[in-house]
Amino acid sequence: MKTILVTGANGMFGQDLVPLLKEKGYFVIETDIHNMDITKQVNAFFKENPCDVVIHGAAYTNVDGAESDPDTAFLINGTGSENLARITGELEIPIVYISTDYVFDGTKNTPYIPDDKTNPQSIYGKSKLAGELAVQKYNQKHYITRTSWLYGHKGKNFVETIIKLGKEKPELKVVDDQWGCPTWTVDLAKAVIKILEEHPYGIYHTCGSGETTWYGFTKKIFEVKNIKTPIYPVTTAEFPRPAKRPAYSVMDNAGLCQHWERAIEEYSEVLV
């Protein structure tokens, strides 16, 4: 039985990943800030808790907050990832690093492939790219899995927020000029496991298939939840945010995840 160490095990992604790993027969070492602070010395923890693989899901994910707190974003996403990359590289332990579509600038008009040039436009994106580069530099046995527009039952996310607003507000305005790939945490977890078991080291895009805008995503959510609140498309310029978002961050996932519309239908069937 292989032992897999998961960072960010208490996060939205981690809480869906860990049970799936256990179902597959893996022994899981669950870590989070309470038992392993990745921004500090992690070598002792690894010596006391030997493992065969690391899935690194811990991250600073406040996209707008990073603009006013870049030190924390880079400490967690950059330095923390480097710490893990160094020790796993030394011990020759494969590492899976969960990254983001925000490493791209959004200027393409066709889906991004793993080899496309990165050019993050936000502090968050830059900090996640720093993590990618550290993993590539210090551990040859690496998988980088970029995901996007992530939602799940175990954490705050766009789907739950928009459902709540749809029930409270008489109407909603939603951005319709940012294109991306909504991704369910369960689908991300399944894709990561599949990559570990079947694919060589490298960079992968693990996001929902297809593409949509936040407005299109909202329309589908309201359809499956039977919410009748009127929604109106607006531009990004009408809703300025501290962090710049890529206008088009659609990624080609090479069939690793199901279509985003089917995923939100499945998610909604068990949404409480």
Q: Whole-angstrom Cα distance, residue 201 to residue 73?
A: 26
Where do runs of H (alpha helix) occur along the chain? 14-23, 43-48, 65-68, 70-74, 81-91, 123-138, 158-168, 185-198, 214-225, 260-269
Share of the chain above pLDDT 90, in %: 97
Task: Provide the pLDDT for residue 11.
Answer: 97
Q: Whole-angstrom Cα distance, residue 155 to residue 10?
A: 10
Is the model's pLDDT at 262 over the cut of 70? yes
Neighbours of 142 (CB within 10 A): 23
Task: Provide the pLDDT for residue 72.
Answer: 98
For 83-134, the pLDDT digits (tens) are 999 999 999 999 999 999 999 999 999 999 999 999 999 999 999 999 999 9
Task: Provide the pLDDT for residue 228.
Answer: 96
The domain 3-150+184-205 having CATH identifier 3.40.50.720: the answer here is yes
- Ranges 31-45, 171-185, 258-272: which has the least confidence: 258-272
Q: Does residue 124 carry a catalytic annotation?
A: yes
Mean pLDDT of 22-32: 98
Is the model's pLDDT at 212 over the cut of 60? yes
Is the model's pLDDT at 137 over the cut of 60? yes
Q: Whole-angstrom Cα distance, residue 81 to residue 64?
A: 21
For 185-199, the pLDDT digits (tens) are 999 999 999 999 999
Task: Provide the pLDDT for residue 1.
Answer: 80
Task: Provide the pLDDT for residue 93.
Answer: 98
Q: Are strands 172-175 and 179-180 parallel, antiparallel or unpaired?
A: unpaired
Is the model's pLDDT at 180 over the cut of 80? yes
- Is 246:121 a contact under the CB 8 Å cutoff? yes
Q: Whole-angstrom Cα distance, residue 20 to residue 14?
A: 10
Average pLDDT in the chain? 97
**φ and ψ of 197, to 5 deg:** -85, -25
Share of the chain above pLDDT 70, in %: 99
Catalytic, out of 26, 97, 112, 124: 124
The structure tokens listed for 167 are 């029930």
Task: Provide the pLDDT for residue 271.
Answer: 52
Is the model's pLDDT at 270 over the cut of 90? no
Tokens 């039977």 belong to residue: 226
Is the model's pLDDT at 272 over the cut of 80? no
Residue boundaries of the structural domains of the chain: 3-150+184-205, 157-179+210-250+259-269
Task: Provide the pLDDT for residue 242.
Answer: 96
| Alpha carbon distance, N-terminus to C-terminus of the chain | 34
Say what the pTM is. 0.97
Q: Are strands 53-56 and 95-100 parallel, antiparallel or unpaired?
A: parallel
CATH topology of domain 157-179+210-250+259-269: UDP-galactose 4-epimerase; domain 1 (3.90.25)
Same topology between domain 3-150+184-205 and domain 157-179+210-250+259-269: no
Q: Whole-angstrom Cα distance, residue 241 to residue 88?
A: 37
